[in-house]
Amino acid sequence: MAAIKKAPACLDLCVTADDFEAAAKETLSEKSWVYASSSASSGLSHQSNLDDWSRINFRPRIMKKVNTLDTSRDVLGKKSKLPFFITAMGTLGSAHPGAEPALVTGATRKGINAVISTATSKSPETIMEAHLSEQKKVNNRSPTRLDFQLYVPTDRTKAKTLIQRIKVAGYHSLWITVDSSTQGKRTADRYLQAQEKLDEGGIEVVREAAAENDFGPAFGGRPTAGYLHPGLTWEDIAWISEEWGGPIVLKGIQSVEDVKLAVQYGVQGVLLSNHGGRQIHSAPSALMTLLEIRSYYPEAFDKLEVFVDGGLRDGADVLKALCLGATAVGVGRPYFYALAAYGTDGVEKCTEILTEELEICMKMLGVSSLDQLHPGLINASRLLNEMWRPDSFGPSSLKAKL
* Domain spans in the chain, listed from the N-terminal domain onward: 11-387
If you average pLDDT over residues 47-51, what whole number do you get? 80
- Asked if residue 90 belongs to a known ligand binding site, the reply is yes
- SS3 for 305? strand
Residues 171, 166: Cα–Cα separation, whole Å:
6
Q: How many helices (H) and strands (E) does the chain have?
A: 16, 12
The reported pLDDT for the residue numbered 240 is 97
Is-contact 321 80, C-beta < 8 A? no
Question: Exposed, middle or buried, 16 (CB in 10 Å: 0-12/13-18/19+)?
Answer: middle
Radius of gyration of the chain (CA): 21
Give pairs for 221-227: CB < 8 Å, separation 24+. Answer: 221/35, 221/90, 221/91, 221/119, 221/183, 221/186, 222/183, 222/189, 223/183, 226/153, 226/154, 226/155, 226/158, 227/151, 227/153
Residue 341 has pLDDT above 70, yes or no: yes
Q: Which residues pair with 392 in a beta bridge?
A: 394
SS (H, E, C) 204-223: CCCCCECCCCCCCCEHHHEC
- Asked if residue 72 belongs to a known ligand binding site, the reply is no
Listed residue (154, 166, 279, 118) closest to 228, CA to CA:
154
Residues 161, 123: Cα–Cα separation, whole Å:
14
The reported pLDDT for the residue numbered 228 is 63
- Asked if residue 165 belongs to a known ligand binding site, the reply is no
The reported pLDDT for the residue numbered 201 is 72
Strands (E), 239-292: 248-253, 269-272
- Asked if residue 59 belongs to a known ligand binding site, the reply is no
Residue 187 has pLDDT above 90, yes or no: no
Residue 3 pLDDT level (bands cut at 50, 70, 90): very low
pLDDT in tens, 84-141: 999 999 889 888 999 999 999 999 999 999 999 999 999 999 999 999 999 999 999 9
260-284: string of b/e by CB count within 10 Å (b at 16+)? bbbbeeebbbbbbbbbbbbbbbebb
Question: Exposed, middle or buried, 178 (CB in 10 Å: 0-12/13-18/19+)?
Answer: buried
pLDDT in tens, 251-297: 999 999 999 999 999 999 999 998 766 667 778 899 999 999 999 99
Residue 394 has pLDDT above 60, yes or no: no
Q: Which residues pair with 84 in a beta bridge?
A: 329
Residues 266, 246: Cα–Cα separation, whole Å:
12
Which residues participate in catalysis according to the annotation? 275
Q: Roughly what angle, to the nearest 10 degrees, separates helices 99-110 and 124-137?
A: 30
Listed residue (154, 179, 149, 118) closest to 229, CA to CA:
154
Domain 11-387 superfamily per CATH: Aldolase class I (3.20.20.70)
- Asked if residue 251 belongs to a known ligand binding site, the reply is yes
**End-to-end CA distance of the chain, in Å?**
48
